[in-house]
A and B are shown apart, each in its own frame.
Chain A
Amino acid sequence: MNNIEKILLVGNPNVGKSAIFSRLTGAKVIISNYPGTTVEFTQGKLKLGEETAMIVDVPGTYTLEPTCKAEDVACRMVKEGGVTINIVDATNLERNLHLTLQLLEDDIPVIVALNMWDDTKHRGIYIDVKKLEEQLGVPVVPTCGLSGEGIKELIERLPQAKARSLPVSSDAQKWEKIGKIVEEVQKLTHRHHTLLEILEDLSIKPLTGLPIALGIIYCAFWVVRFIGEGLIGHIFEPLFTKLWLPLLMKIGTLLGEGSFLHHILIGNLIEGKIDFGQSFGLLTTGLYVPIAMVLPYILSFYLILGLLEDFGYLPRLAVLVDNFMHHLGLHGYAIIPFILGLGCKVPGVLATRILEERREKFIAATLLAIGVPCMAQIAMIVGLVGQRGGKYVALIFLILFLLLIIKGLVLNRFLKGTSPEILVEIPPYRIPQVTAVTKKLWMRLSGFLKEALPLVLLGVLFVNILYALRIIDFFAYIFAPVLTNLWGLPKEAISALIVGFLRKDVAVGMLGPLNLTTKQLVVGSTILSLYFPCIATYIVLIRELGIKDTLKSTFIMIAVALLVGVLLNLILI
């Protein structure tokens, strides 16, 4: 075993595989506390002396006889071969060893990493590593992915990985063998309930769990708003008005008002001044909307989400809402794509992979695409409609929420099949690690800037060109009957609807300069959330659902938007 080319990280879900992976490669990967995020596998490189080995983070699996898609992927990757690091949760030896024994029956070199080693101490678990090594016949190294303990030894002992090729045994035989091994190597001593464990129990019991859930959600929103507003008021707004604005004024005079470049870069002057919300140039509104209005909320939302994820709260929320979600044709775990979707729908749609059945995935993705506003949209609605009064913002979100439920009920009623049941592991609470949380936050923020900023600028440019070429007037003329007669919006709102295909934040922003009545603003913002997700989401939707289901979903979106627009126009005064 001198030449290691490929290393596979194999283990059950929730054993800290991703943490070990990022320790080994130093790569930036998402480390989460709930199962399912690594269905798409990650790979990186590890330097072993002179050589470089490819290292693959195989999706978490309980068995090599697949029971679901993620496990299927995992099995196929193991069959392809490579040195296998079997990551075992030391606090849960018995269950984890089942996979280990299966690996030992294959003709692949295996080394065992006994992860979460630090956790065994306060849980009153004592494991004799030497004896375990003898029993298994392969190297066993205690590790702690979060602190990095044992990683060096793991790398050093990689060449000692051994292929056992044990005779194939039945499940029952394996469990029997595991029973003996565990009895031999593990001693349990009394453990006292830590504060976290008491909290675990309280948050999963319905009587205490539901109030706790409501409390956590309320606090989360409050903190997101507090941080978001704070960042805007104290950092981003001053930055733009005190530093950027004077600079732009100079550029503006240099370009000369009325010139083509002035029009594209600076946009229209409102009462002789640059207005970041309404001027609509690339350097004015194009930068101000994504950076000063949306980014602060994205930052605060993902900070709180990351903390809740790493703390391990989300699976508990999934269990608490399971009952309710069944009425929408989903099970509780579908709440996770929805929560992610509140940040950005792209990761939200990707997360529908944790749902097994096509029907379920279709419902979740459709509801997500047109029922859950993303943070960019939320920030703009709060910023724009909020000026007319908080109750109108609340009204929009209430409408969207009710629609989400109605759409779910209808889809569940009319799509064939039933919703499957929940069967998930609830990981213990863990205090989030500052480095892991900041790493994840940074990834998500840079993801937003890289993906959203170009699209926002493109949208602004696009609209300016359409205006210049008078194409907007043409569209406005064609769609005027729908807009004015059915929805009660001015025909100029068409430009917002067009940009809405690209980005929702700019689109909502474009309603600003139209001098709409409050009712029109509510109708407009709601329709913008309903008729189509943004282009980035739509592409992921096609990839995840396939063309046929996406078209079905699109049809639902358009029908709902038309209908709701008309209803709101009639009902609202």
Chain B
Amino acid sequence: MTIDLTQMQPGETGTVKEIQGGQGFVRKLQSMGVRPEKKITKVSSHFWRGPQTIEVDNIQIAVGFGMAKRILVEVSR
């Protein structure tokens, strides 16, 4: 099923399907290693719509909540 990044459980791994947003945002994420067909693992999510941390290729990235909402991920549940 496809959910957004904020809905993933900590520890869960999924495949990025789509990044919705402006070109700048998409490109920035891409260059940090987050792009369609990449496997990402959610590390943690912070309280009260706080930043979401994910791991892509051994690197951890913190993504704001609103941005994370626009990253769609395929997970098997």
Q: Which residues of A contact B (CB under 8 A)?
A: 12, 62-63, 65, 67, 91-92, 94-95, 98-99, 123, 171, 175, 200-201, 204-206, 209, 315, 318-320, 322-323, 331-332, 420-426, 428
Contact = CB atoms under 8 A, between A and B. Distances in A.
Given A95-B57, A95-B59, A205-B44, A332 B27 contact: no
B3 interface: no
Contacts of B50: 206, 322-323
Interface in B40-67: 43-51, 53, 56-67
B31 A319 contact: no
B16 to A, nearest CB: 12
B64 A422 contact: yes
Contacts of A92: 33, 57-59
B23 to A, nearest CB: 9
A204 B43 contact: yes
B47 to A, nearest CB: 6
B51 A319 contact: yes
Interface in B1-38: 10, 24, 27-33, 35
Top 9 nearest A-B pairs by Cβ distance? A421-B64, A62-B31, A426-B60, A323-B50, A205-B44, A95-B33, A319-B62, A322-B51, A422-B64
Nearest to B60: A426
Contacts of A421: 51, 63-67
Contacts, number: 102
21 contacts: A12-B31, A92-B33, A94-B33, A95-B56, A99-B31, A123-B58, A171-B30, A200-B60, A205-B44, A319-B53, A319-B62, A322-B50, A323-B47, A323-B49, A323-B51, A422-B63, A425-B32, A425-B61, A426-B60, A426-B62, A428-B60
A206 B47 contact: yes
Given A171-B27, A204-B43, A322 B32 contact: no
B12 to A, nearest CB: 14
B32 A95 contact: yes
**Most central of A62, A65, A95, A209 by chain B CB within 10 Å:** A95
Most chain A CB within 10 A, of B48, B49, B50, B58, is at: B58
Given A200-B60, A204-B53, A95 B28 contact: no
A315 B59 CA distance: 13
B58 A91 contact: yes
Instruction: State the main secondary structure of chain B at its contact with A.
Output: mixed
B51 to A, nearest CB: 5
B7 to A, nearest CB: 17
A67 B24 contact: yes
Contacts of B58: 91-92, 123, 428
A67 B46 contact: no
Interface of B: 10, 24, 27-33, 35, 43-51, 53, 56-67
Q: Is the interface of A mostly helix, strand, loop or mixed?
A: helix
Contacts of B30: 98, 171, 175
A123 B64 CA distance: 28
A107 to B, nearest CB: 22
B61 A201 contact: no
Contacts of A98: 30-31
Given A92-B57, A322-B62, A423 B46 contact: no
A188 B62 CA distance: 24
B71 to A, nearest CB: 11
A206 B62 contact: no
Contacts of B59: 92, 95, 425-426
B64 A320 contact: no
Contacts of B65: 421
B8 to A, nearest CB: 14
Contacts of B48: 323
A259 to B, nearest CB: 64
A94 B60 CA distance: 15
Contacts of A204: 43-44, 53, 60, 62
A363 to B, nearest CB: 17
Nearest to A426: B60
A453 to B, nearest CB: 40
A117 B59 CA distance: 16
B62 A422 contact: yes
Nearest to A197: B58
Given A322-B62, A331-B64, A424-B62, A62 B28 contact: yes
Contacts of B31: 12, 62-63, 95, 98-99
Contacts of B46: 206, 319-320, 322-323
Contacts of B33: 92, 94-95
A505 B75 CA distance: 58
B5 to A, nearest CB: 12
B32 A206 contact: no
Given A171-B27, A206-B46, A426-B59, 12 more contacts: A95-B33, A200-B60, A205-B43, A205-B44, A206-B45, A206-B50, A319-B62, A320-B46, A322-B51, A323-B47, A423-B67, A425-B60
A165 B49 CA distance: 46
Nearest to A62: B31
A58 to B, nearest CB: 16
A423 B27 contact: no
Contacts of A12: 31
Contacts of B47: 206, 323
Contacts of A200: 60
B63 A423 contact: yes
Contacts of A209: 44
B28 A424 contact: no
